Copies of this chain bind each other. A is one copy, B any other.
Amino acid sequence: MESSIGIVTAKKMHFSAPLLLQSGQSLADYDLMVETYGVLNAQRSNAVLICHALNASHHVAGHYLHEPQSLGWWDNMVGPGKPLDTQRFFIIGINNLGSCFGSTGPMSLDPATGRPYGARFPVVTVEDWVNAQARVADALGIERFAAVMGGSLGGMQALAWSITYPERVAHCLAIASTPKLSAQNIAFNEVARSAILSDPDFHGGDYYTHGVKPRIGLRLARMIGHITYLSDEDMAAKFGRARFSQKKNTYNFNFDIEFEVESYLRHQGGKFAEYFDANTYLLATRALDYFDPAQAYAGDLSAALANTRANYLVVSFTTDWRFPPARSQELVKALLEHKRAVTYAEINAPHGHDAFLLTDDRYHNLVRAYYARIAQECA
């Protein structure tokens, strides 16, 4: 019963009411790319919003016509008979503001100038994204989500939904996430941003009009990211000290690719630099850095969660050193102080932060069981 949902189509939704951003700036109007799967029931009670992480999009599941390789980023989670079952739920994926997959972002034309926004695109926050997503829900006639779910930066959006719109979220599923970045997390983001900002082809963010893109910086940023997504154990198992060359018994004594892990990183970095936008990378890492709902409460996360109404599923993975289990536990503890219903699972998985995207029976069966319960509530 675990087949992909098959061919899907994305649509662009236009919003013409200005959106006031946390920075004080506003967007006069904007587009958001949206995909939906399954059918909204008559009571409009079975809607689930999936929030994406740094480099993903609205394309959560299925594939596009004539593009069988274009599988959605969470296709193993969302589909007929899958943990989040499209036969039971109406599921929405939205490409966030500032991203580079069709929603309004730095690559879009600024109506004020007729040229791409570039560096003039405002710095957006997790809360800004949530406010923009709420307008999609309004347009689709969804008053309350059965669930808002996300992994990593997507989990932050799910958490922000439950704080900003407590009446509109029945369940919040925060996977491999954290209520705030650590200094080390920010440090990795800063190196990635520095690589982009210092690339001579960055041109202060306005590289579009120069006909170039800061590939070198974006490539380095992605290489750094990749190291933090994988666990030390996983890298050891996948690559170890395996050699790239055929001459296994002697080194090349140069700085070309010597080890498999170098080849992997260069390949991933190079691929990413072709399809992703550097300004979006800057924006998404800043949104990560800035997210900290406790900040307005003098660092008291419990106070920040005082008005939440949702039930929570919080999942962490043992070898995730980007957002380790302790960060999820911090969230769980603060929620329990308000007697919220919280299910917490720490999945023993070797794959580091990436585990949230991978197929793992214990993880998927947990999410499946959790959604089965939600399905009963909204039937």
For A122, the closest partner residue in chain B by CB is B253
Residues of A at under 8 Å CB distance from B? Answer: 22-25, 122-123, 180-184, 186-188, 190-191, 193-195, 197-200, 216, 219-220, 223-224, 226-227, 230, 232, 235-236, 238-241, 251, 253-255, 258-259, 261-262, 265-266, 269, 282, 286, 289-290, 292, 321
Contacts of A199 in B (CB 8 A): 216
Report which of B183, B227, B239, B266 forms a contact with A239, defined as CB distance below 8 A. Answer: B183
- A interface: dominant SS: helix
Report which of B183, B220, B258 forms a contact with A195, defined as CB distance below 8 A. Answer: B220
Nearest CB of B to A255, in Å: 6
Report which of B184, B236, B292 forms a contact with A236, defined as CB distance below 8 A. Answer: B184
Q: Given A122-B253, A195-B195, A241 and B190 touching (CB < 8 A)?
A: no
Report which of B182, B197, B219, B223 forms a contact with A235, defined as CB distance below 8 A. Answer: B182
* A277–B335 alpha-carbon span in the complex (Å): 51
* A93–B51 alpha-carbon span in the complex (Å): 56
By the criterion CB–CB under 8 Å, are B194 and A232 in contact?
no
Contacts of A230 in B (CB 8 A): 184
Contacts of A238 in B (CB 8 A): 183
Q: Given A220-B220, A224-B191, A186 and B241 touching (CB < 8 A)?
A: yes
By the criterion CB–CB under 8 Å, are A253 and B123 in contact?
yes
Task: Determine which residue in A182, A187, A195, A259 has the highest number of CB atoms from chain B within 10 A of its CB, and name it.
Answer: A187
* A241–B184 alpha-carbon span in the complex (Å): 10
Other 14 A-B pairs with CB < 8 A, given A123-B254, A184-B236, A195-B195: A22-B251, A23-B253, A123-B253, A182-B241, A183-B241, A183-B259, A187-B226, A187-B227, A188-B227, A190-B262, A190-B265, A191-B220, A194-B220, A199-B216
Q: Given A23-B253, A220-B220, A241-B292, A259 and B194 touching (CB < 8 A)?
A: no
By the criterion CB–CB under 8 Å, are A255 and B236 in contact?
no
For A290, the closest partner residue in chain B by CB is B251
Contacts of A255 in B (CB 8 A): 123, 193, 197, 282, 286
Nearest CB of B to A210, in Å: 15
Q: Given A224-B224, A292-B241, A236 and B191 touching (CB < 8 A)?
A: no
Task: Determine which residue in A188, A220, A241 has the highest number of CB atoms from chain B within 10 A of its CB, and name it.
Answer: A241
Contacts of A292 in B (CB 8 A): 241
By the criterion CB–CB under 8 Å, are B186 and A259 in contact?
yes
* A226–B187 alpha-carbon span in the complex (Å): 9
Contacts of A23 in B (CB 8 A): 251, 253
By the criterion CB–CB under 8 Å, are B253 and A223 in contact?
no
Q: Given A200-B200, A253-B122, A255-B282, A240 and B190 touching (CB < 8 A)?
A: no
Contacts of A282 in B (CB 8 A): 255
By the criterion CB–CB under 8 Å, are A236 and B182 in contact?
yes
* A274–B69 alpha-carbon span in the complex (Å): 47
* A180–B193 alpha-carbon span in the complex (Å): 31
Contacts of A198 in B (CB 8 A): 216, 219-220
For A223, the closest partner residue in chain B by CB is B191
By the criterion CB–CB under 8 Å, are B184 and A227 in contact?
yes
Task: Determine which residue in A197, A200, A223, A258 has the highest number of CB atoms from chain B within 10 A of its CB, and name it.
Answer: A223
Contacts of A265 in B (CB 8 A): 187, 190-191, 194
For A286, the closest partner residue in chain B by CB is B255
Task: Determine which residue in A25, A194, A227 has the highest number of CB atoms from chain B within 10 A of its CB, and name it.
Answer: A194
Nearest CB of B to A352, in Å: 10
Nearest CB of B to A194, in Å: 6
* A220–B238 alpha-carbon span in the complex (Å): 26
